Structure formats: C-alpha cells, structure tokens
A and B are shown apart, each in its own frame.
Chain A
Amino acid sequence: MSILVNKDTKVIVQGFTGSEGTFHAEQCMAYGTDIVGGVTPGKGGQEHLGKPVFNTVKEAVEATGATVSMVFVPPAFVADAVMEAAEAGIELAVIITEGAPVKDMQMAKAHAVKNGMMTIGPNCPGIITAEECKIGIMPGNIFKKGNVGLISKSGTLTYEASNQVVKEGLGITTAVGIGGDPIIGLSYKQLLPMFEADPETEAIVMIGEIGGDLEIQAAKFIKENIKKPVVAFIAGQTAPKGKRMGHAGAIVSGSAGTAKEKMDALEAAGVKVVVSPADIGKAVKEVLS
C-alpha cells in the first residue's frame, strides 16, 4: 500500500516535449511510472518518448484515462495549465515548476479545489511511492520500499531523510514533496490522515521550515487525529528574521513563523522533534522500536 499514487497510476505530462519535461518523463518511465502520454499545445498527434502527444488535457484524459498530471509548464503559464487539468477531470496535479507568481497560484488552487482536483506543489520535487511510481524530479534510487511515510517542504531534505531512513535498515512507503511556496496544494493536514489510514505506513516523518503556519496547523491535527508516531524537523532555526531563505515562503514575518514556535507546537502534540536533520534516521528507528 501507499498513498495517492502506485504502480497502476496513469500519468500524463504537461509540458511533455520541453527539455525538462522530456528528461524527467524519461527518468520516471525508467523508474516504472506508467506515463501514458503528454500535452504540448500545437504538437497534438505526434509521438514523444514512444507516447502520444495531445493538444489539450481533455483529449489526453479521454484517450488515455490518465488521473494524474505532472506539470513542467514554464512559470508564466503554469496556472493556466493547472486550471485546464482541473476542468479536464484530472484527480491530482503534481506541479514541479519553480517561480510561479503567487497571485496565479492562488487562483489556480482555488479553481482546482472547486473542481475537486488535488494539487502538489508548485516548486516541489513531486511524489514517489517507493519502487512503484515516481512523479517528479527526485533521484528514485534513494527511495527503498519500507514503512515510513514522508512529507516535506524541501527537496534535498526529502532525499537526506529518505537516505538516512534507508541506512537504518528501514524504507519509505510514499514520500511527498509539498514545496516551499507561500501557496501550496496538499499539505501536512491533508496528507497526515492518508498516511494514518495506510496500513503499510508505521511512522511518519514531516519536514517543515520557517514561514507560514502549516506546521502549527499540523501540530493541532496530529494531537487530535494521528496515532502513528511522527518525527519532525523544522529548518531555519538559525535563519534571521525578515530574510527570505531560498524558498519564496521561507521567511519569518515579525515574530510569526519561527522554527522555535513550530518545534514547540509539534513537541506539545507528542511529535518527536529533532534539532538537526542529521538525526532524522535515528529518531525514526527509535519511534519504531
């Protein structure tokens, strides 16, 4: 078992024939992801990587039965692509694109919610169910099958955490990179109950960072709803106030959104909080023994 995606998930790629789309679609296919086609307006009817190209998402969905879209469309057009996917009946859009305007994502997400489509990202590594289905840009070989679910705002910290978990002799069910933008799709609060319900997942790692209050909302949710052990790390304990740390959303505004505030809230919710990401693997081993 796993959450959201598995070996049977049919995936299309929006921005299929671009250089990023091509490179990563190929990597995903090599990992075993069932990519059934892609969308590049104006190139409909062609074949790319041995799969059909469509002009619109609607055509792609009708022809292939795809339920998930991996989005590599450039930032200026990403909102358009996401809203198109939502109306075409896609169930989950995984938005890899970095640098989408906040206003555009606000509108796109609202439209996705209205049409019952889930989104992951933008500006994220994507989602991977270990040894079954990779929809994103993460190095697949790091994710070995196991019993730990992973939710993270950061790409490289996702890899770091998975690597440590694997080194402890454990593995991953599904890992979700939710992205570090101010407005993102699925977040801890929506993903935690999915892992709670997944019989294979026995522990959950959540990696957060400064800025916003999603981790605080998660802490409240965990306290009331999550029985499985949770390990958390919050990046940016040493980040100065008012400075944006790489991710568009990673900024402490005034006294809100600090690492300390989030770590305290999670600890109070019974989460095992580590101070350094170097201790994630060990902590997971500990909560599972």
Chain B
Amino acid sequence: MNIHEYQAKQIFAEYGVPTPRGIVANTPDEAVKAAEELGGNLWVVKAQIHAGGRGLGGGVKIAKSIDEVRELASQIIGMTLVTHQTGPEGKLVQKVYIEEGVDIKDEFYLGVVLDRAKEMPVIMASTEGGMEIEKVAEETPEKIVKVAVDPAIGFQGFHGRELVFGLGIEDKTEQKNLIDFAKKLFSVYMDKDAELIEINPLVKTGNGEFIALDAKMGFDDSALYRHPEIEQMRDISEEDPDEREASQYGLSYVALDGEIGCMVNGAGLAMGTMDTINYMGGTPANFLDVGGKATAETVAKGFEIILKNPNVKSIFVNIFGGIVRCDRIANGILEATKMVDVKVPVIVRLDGTNAEEAAEILKNANIENVIPASDLADGARKAVAAAKGEL
C-alpha cells in the first residue's frame, strides 16, 4: 500500500525527520488559507497523487503571491496529471499540498528499501538529487552509496560514517545533521513496516540542515494488520477499482492491454499462462490468480472482472487441480457460466487430480462457447485462435 507525500511527511514529523512546513488543501480556497497560515512570500503548490515525476508533468509549481497560490491550486486540482509512472491515461488530482519555500543549497537522494540479496534493509543515497535513482544506477552507479543495516543491531555510528563519507560530505555539522536524519528515517522504516521510503530530493539548506523536500512511502501489505494508523491513510481513489474489487474476493488481478482474458490458479502458473499466450502469438488481457479453491463463486467473480474489459475476445481458464479435484472445479465453472453471461469463447483446461472426469463433465454439459482443452499448450493455442475468430 502506498500513501501520499503529505501523509508520509506527517509520519516523518512524528519521528523528528525534518520536512518543510505544509498544509494539505482540497480546494483553491483551502489552498489560499493554507498559504496565509504558513506565511512568508513563496509557496510550493504540489499535486498529491501516488506517482513520481509530478514536477515534470506540471503538478508542482512555485507561487510568489497569494493570488498565484489560488491560480495554481485552481489549475492543479481537477487536472489529469500524466507522468512516466501514471501511464498515458494519467491520474486525477484531488488534493494539493501547500508548502513553505526552502533555501536549497544542494540536492541529494535518500531512500530505504529491502535488499533482497542481503536480506536486510539498505539505505541508498546519492549526490544526484532530483534524478531518478534507477537512471543514476544505470549511468553512474559509482554515485550511489549503499549502506545495509542489520535490524538485529540497528543503525550504528559506522553506518552513518559510511553514508556521509560515501557522499563526500566534509563539514562536521552537516555530517551530524545527515547522520541524525538517516537514523530517524531508518526508525520510521522499521517501526512502520515500510517496504520503501524515497526522498528525492533531500535538500541541504544554506545553514547545513537536511530537509525532506519530497517523500514517498510504501508499506508491506502483510503487516498492515498491526498498523491501523497506516491503513487509515489508504486513498481508495488511487487504487485500480478492478484490482481492489478482485482482492475483496481473494482474487489477485492486474489489468494488461491484450485481448485474451486469463483465469488461473496460482501466481506462477498465471504468469506462465500469460507467457504461453504471448509465445503462441496472442496477447494476455490480464493476470488473474483465483487462488487455491477455485469455487463457482470465485470463478463467476473472475468472469465478471475479466469481462469489464471490452477488449477481451476470449477467456482461457487454466486450472491445475490438486487437493481440490478437477471434477469439482468443472462443475464450479459450469455453474459460474450460468451466473455470469459470458458471450466470448471460454477455453477450459483442467489438469491434475480427476482431470478425465472433469473433461467428461465439460463435454456432456455441451455449452456452445465452453471449449475444453487437453493441456496448457492446447488451451493457449485455442484461446489465441478464438480471439482471432479462427476457432
């Protein structure tokens, strides 16, 4: 689960991680009020969406007067912001964050993420603030400092020294400030079961302080049960409605841009099915893992979600029945086709325990658009042919 910049900064503030002062606003009037409350003569108006690249997309603007705050807030609230992370359809901006201006002397990147190879969190930092870290990693990997921190010992002095000397920071006060910053940020990461924290840019001010100018946070979904305070920050409008609906029924769904709907049990086989469709010259319309049980209800829900996508020309149901026997799954699929009006061809491949009985059940049901397949390759081939109207 991800949260907005302003929410991440609220969490930072609780831990004493320095951020500029700011107030969130839902309307231009609120934005003006926020600017007046913050005072000063320069404000930043920032679109609040869960995607990076907001500045380049026109979602972050500087205002030098209260009138300008109103004007920019009016422009940004309600705009559809397109960035490299939103996809071409963009995202609707519903909130802006009004922040005080900061005296920027230098820009850095600072993040905390799980290093899967080392199996511990790693603090990543770079002097190339403002640039995408992936780009820096590709072009100038020597400019990235990585400090892995074993949670069993926590953030120690040497971690801090590796960080500041790695970044070439020489001033004693600046060193102390950054080490303090990183140590607090690491506490946020651990305490909140974060999956990712990214501050880009982290800025150094004229008097050597470090401030999180931006903030991005994502959390481990499996740990949300012990963080009601984070769960409360969930913004449903930022989530894909179909993915969300699917998850409420225990299904795992990701929309893609192809033509063949996929319904599969198990994440690996679901990806493997998409890959096979692609290999056979077709295009998958989605990833959908119906989980271990694949009952009539879950399959019916799967059909419903898949068919919301108007591009779907055929559906490939690929189930490997193990503990749940194929004959039961076959009956479930037949029931599901009665619950949901499926007009496109449905290719059904059931393999595993009692596969033969299942094939018999499907054959005897004799439903026009339900086509049995003998194995994965046969099913994928038929689904591709059906999508092309060649079956």
Contact = CB atoms under 8 A, between A and B. Distances in A.
User: Which of B116, B279, B351, B376 counts the most chain A CB atoms within 10 A?
Assistant: B116
B380 A156 contact: no
B195 interface: yes
A156 B190 CA distance: 33
Nearest to A239: B271
Contacts, number: 172
A75 B222 contact: yes
Interface stretch (B4-12, B62-70, B164-172, B261-269): B261-269
Contacts of B280: 276
A111 B307 CA distance: 47
A114 to B, nearest CB: 9
Contacts of B256: 238, 240
A237 B254 contact: no
B223 A240 contact: no
Contacts of A141: 353
Interface of A: 27, 75-76, 99-104, 106-107, 109-110, 137-139, 141-142, 152-157, 159-160, 163, 180, 182-183, 207, 209-214, 217, 233, 235-240, 242-250, 254-255, 259, 275-279
Interface of B: 85, 114, 116-117, 119-120, 133-134, 137-138, 150-152, 190, 193, 195, 220-223, 225-226, 252, 254, 256, 264-272, 274-280, 284, 287, 289, 320-323, 351-353, 375-377, 380
Nearest to A75: B222
Contacts of B279: 275-276
A28 B2 CA distance: 40
Contacts of B322: 137-139, 142, 156, 159
Minimum-distance CB pairs A-B, first 10: A154-B268, A246-B267, A156-B266, A139-B322, A101-B223, A235-B271, A254-B134, A278-B377, A156-B269, A277-B272
A282 to B, nearest CB: 10
A100 B222 contact: yes
A101 B194 CA distance: 10
Given A103-B220, A238-B284, A245 B376 contact: no
Nearest to A101: B223
Contact of A276 (B264, B272, B287): B272
B323 A210 contact: no
Contacts of B275: 235-238, 259, 275-277
A276 B272 CA distance: 7
Given A102-B223, A217-B117, A235-B272, 16 more contacts: A75-B222, A138-B322, A142-B353, A152-B268, A159-B352, A160-B320, A163-B320, A211-B116, A212-B116, A235-B271, A238-B256, A238-B271, A238-B275, A238-B284, A248-B221, A255-B138
A143 to B, nearest CB: 11
Contacts of B264: 156
A7 B214 CA distance: 58
Contacts of A107: 151-152
A170 B284 CA distance: 32
Contact of B267 (A182, A212, A240, A245): A245
B352 to A, nearest CB: 6
B323 A157 contact: no
Contacts of A157: 266, 268-269, 272
Nearest to B152: A110
Given A183-B119, A255-B134, A277-B269, A237 B352 contact: no
A213 B117 CA distance: 7
19 contacts: A75-B222, A101-B193, A101-B223, A102-B193, A102-B222, A138-B322, A139-B323, A142-B352, A153-B268, A157-B268, A212-B117, A235-B275, A243-B254, A245-B271, A275-B275, A275-B279, A276-B272, A276-B380, A277-B276
Nearest to B324: A139
Contacts of A137: 322-323
Nearest to B288: A246
Contacts of B138: 255
A244 B220 CA distance: 12
A156 B265 contact: yes
A102 B220 contact: yes
Contact of A182 (B85, B116, B269, B376): B116
Contacts of A207: 268
Nearest to B258: A238
Contacts of B120: 106
